[in-house]
Structure 1
Amino acid sequence: MKKNIPALYIITGGPGAGKTTLLNELSRSGCITASEEGRRIIKEQIRLNGEGLPWMNKKLFAELMFDASVKTYQEISRNTDSKTIFFDRGILDTVGYLKVENIPVPEKMQTIARELAYHRNVFILPFWKEIYENDAERKQSPEEAVHTFNCIKETYLEYGYNVIEIPKGTVAERICFILGKINES
């Protein structure tokens, strides 16, 4: 019997736009979700006294984030019977990060990003000044957050994805918007 291929949806955007809150609520409501790798890597590097931090070694941080995102993609896409899975950022977010930091994107990374495709509809959350906060892992200024949003959006468009901006609103409203768009496709 052939296994169903899951629909792998990305929820992305600049820092502090509400992605993690949205994904946590999707998870609580029974959806399968994959956590963001960047935050996990930052916490791990701090704990290990490592250099793979965005404020120490941006290139190493990007490599760690990319490798972890690829591993998560492969594990989830192979080992699930779920029809729909939501990712807190995708593999291309690393490509967008490198562009934000003006670091050349290795050809191998570009090739892998093209090969490991998600659903063509990518959900993106815009910068939202009223909810933006810095914390131990998020040190960008609001201007940097807006620039990151723009680079990530451009990156997904360059790779042929249909980028759907999620309107500002309550978490419940945002979930209804996402699920409505999924039901349309």
Structure 2
Amino acid sequence: MIKTNGYVFTGGPGAGKTSVITALAAKGFPVVPESGRQIIQEQVASGGTALPWADKILFRDKMLSAALDDFYRLPPDGQPVFFDRGIPDLIGYSRLENLPVPAVLPEYAVTLRYHPRVFIFPPWEEIYQGDTERKQDYATAVATYNAMHAAYTRCGYQLVTVPCMSVAGRVAFILEQLP
């Protein structure tokens, strides 16, 4: 199943994806926020263990469940919808964290397709900031970017590098790339 109106943003943490998603939402575009941050907040609040610093496999599996729900809710055609991460991100995350990749994950990545062009946000040290949910250091952010680049390339997506510029400039760049 292909959802050609679903555009994925990927890359390492702290590269500006969420800021661009927020700006696109303010312009009236439908967006799908990153599930990882929401899962972390819910798990911390409930005392759960599906956290990247506690049970990485359970955390990944909860993100997969959310990614599948988000994908299936996307209408097949229509207005562009921007995703802060997609299913192949979970392959990259698994490899980055040396976790086993369940067979169903590459199967989903092949059968549930977003638009063939994926926007990748390169590491940008000047804007990188950690917080209570983003505990990685900048070197890990770079490694994450590399893992996402490899995962999406292996899944057959064309990566479009989003230049390091203002949020407004990035939004304009992305909108210019749409058909």
TM-score range, shorter chain: over 0.9
Look up the match of 2:13: 15
Q: Is the contact between residue 6 and residue 85 of structure 1 (CA under 8 Å) also seen in structure 2?
A: no
Counterpart mapping for 1:75-114 below 5 A: 75-77=73-75, 82-114=78-110
In structure 1, C-alpha distance between the alignment counterparts of 2:4 and 2:106, rounded to whole Å: 23
Q: CA RMSD in A?
A: 1.2
Structure 1-normalised TM-score? 0.92
In structure 2, C-alpha distance between the alignment counterparts of 1:83 and 1:19, rounded to whole Å: 20
Q: Is the contact between residue 6 and residue 74 of structure 2 (CA under 8 Å) also seen in structure 1?
A: no
In structure 1, C-alpha distance between the alignment counterparts of 2:66 and 2:158, rounded to whole Å: 24
- Specify every segment of 5 or more residues in structure 1 that has no aligned partner in the other structure, as ranges: none
Q: Is the contact between residue 6 and residue 83 of structure 1 (CA under 8 Å) also seen in structure 2?
A: no
Could you list the structure 1 runs, at least 4 aligned residues long, displaced by more than 4 angstroms after superposition. Answer: none
In structure 1, C-alpha distance between the alignment counterparts of 2:75 and 2:56, rounded to whole Å: 28
Moved more, 151-160 or 174-183: 174-183
Counterpart mapping for 1:108-127 below 5 A: 108-127=104-123
Count of residues in correspondence between the two structures: 177
The SS at the match of 2:81 is strand
Counterpart mapping for 1:1-185 below 5 A: 7-77=5-75, 82-183=78-179
In structure 2, C-alpha distance between the alignment counterparts of 1:77 and 1:34, rounded to whole Å: 13
Q: Identity across aligned pairs (percent)?
A: 42
In structure 2, C-alpha distance between the alignment counterparts of 1:121 and 1:76, rounded to whole Å: 17
Structure 2-normalised TM-score? 0.95
In structure 2, C-alpha distance between the alignment counterparts of 1:168 and 1:103, rounded to whole Å: 31
The SS at the match of 2:75 is helix
The alpha carbon displacement at 1:6 in A equals 5.3
The alpha carbon displacement at 1:72 in A equals 1.0
Residues 18-47 of structure 1: CA deviation (Å, up to 9, x unaligned):
110100000000111111110010001101
In structure 2, C-alpha distance between the alignment counterparts of 1:167 and 1:77, rounded to whole Å: 29
The alpha carbon displacement at 1:82 in A equals 3.5
- Specify every segment of 5 or more residues in structure 2 that has no aligned partner in the other structure, as ranges: none
Q: Is the contact between residue 34 and residue 85 of structure 1 (CA under 8 Å) also seen in structure 2?
A: yes
Residues 91-112 of structure 1: CA deviation (Å, up to 9, x unaligned):
1111110010011211011111
